[in-house]
Amino acid sequence: MARQKDTFYFDGFRRSADYACQAAKLLSEVMHDFNPGQLRERMDSMHAIEKSADEVRHDMMDELVTAFITPFDREDIDELGHVLDDVTDSIEGVLNRMYYDNVTDMRDDAVQMSDMVVRATESICELVNELPRFRHSKTLRELVFAINTIETDADHLFIESMRTLHTTCTDPLQVFAWHDVYRHLERCSDDCERVANTIDSIVMKNS
* Predicted confidence band of residue 3 (pLDDT cuts 50, 70, 90): low
Quote the percentage of the chain above a pLDDT of 70. 97
| Contact yes or no for 195/80 (Cβ under 8 A) | yes
Residue 147, number of CB atoms within 10 A of its CB: 27
pLDDT at 2 over 50: no
CA distance 42 to 30: 8
Q: Which helix (H) or strand (E) holds 109?
A: helix 108-130
By three-state DSSP, how is residue 49 classified?
helix
By three-state DSSP, how is residue 103 classified?
coil
pTM, whole model, 2 decimals? 0.93
SS percent in the chain: helix, strand, coil, step 5: 85, 0, 15
